[in-house]
Amino acid sequence: MSTATLLDKLNAKLQRSDIPQFAPGDTIRVHVRIKEGDKERLQAFEGTVIAKSAGPQPSFTVRKVSFGQGVERIFPANSKVIDKIEVLRSTRVRRAKLYYLRGLKGKAARLTEIERDRGSSQPQTASPKQEEKG
């Protein structure tokens, strides 16, 4: 058996299937297991996904503003430290990496919200509501 086949089997075994579909621009809440001494607790980290990488060891970067200070955290997608991920809202973005949000604050950092089916990453309705002329 070749080394590549062994690595593929190992990567397939370590993949998590309970992670929901989300894209850059989505606001998510990541529940992280924190170990303090002999106790373990859950801590939520809520923010906007600004980057997502693919491959055998995918990761994603979540950014939030806490007390006026920007905080970013990189999570390995298949990590056992992540208890669960909740997708709170989806937004329409035109880039894969949203690093430009680091330089914006307040209303300038807003993103346009869309309705998205939680099962897929494709938007259901991306157009705003139009009033009928009568």
What is the DSSP secondary structure assignment for residue 67, as one 8-state letter?
A: T
- If pLDDT is split at 50, 70 and 90, which confidence band does 133 have? low
Q: What is the domain partition of the chain in residue ranges?
A: 18-100
Mean pLDDT computed over 51-60: 89
Q: Across residues 111-125, what is the average pLDDT? A: 65
Radius of gyration over alpha carbons of the chain, in Å? Answer: 18
Share of residues in the chain with pLDDT > 90 (%)? 50
How far apart (Å, rounded) are the C-alpha atoms in residues 123 and 102? 25
CB 73: neighbour CB atoms within 10 A? 13
What is the second-level CATH architecture of the domain 18-100? Answer: Roll (2.30)
Residue at token pair 């494709």: 122
pTM for the full predicted model: 0.76
pLDDT value of position 49: 95
| 116: confidence class by pLDDT, cuts 50, 70, 90 | confident
Question: How would you class 80 by CB atoms within 10 Å of its CB: exposed for 0-12, middle for 13-18, buried for 19 or more?
Answer: exposed
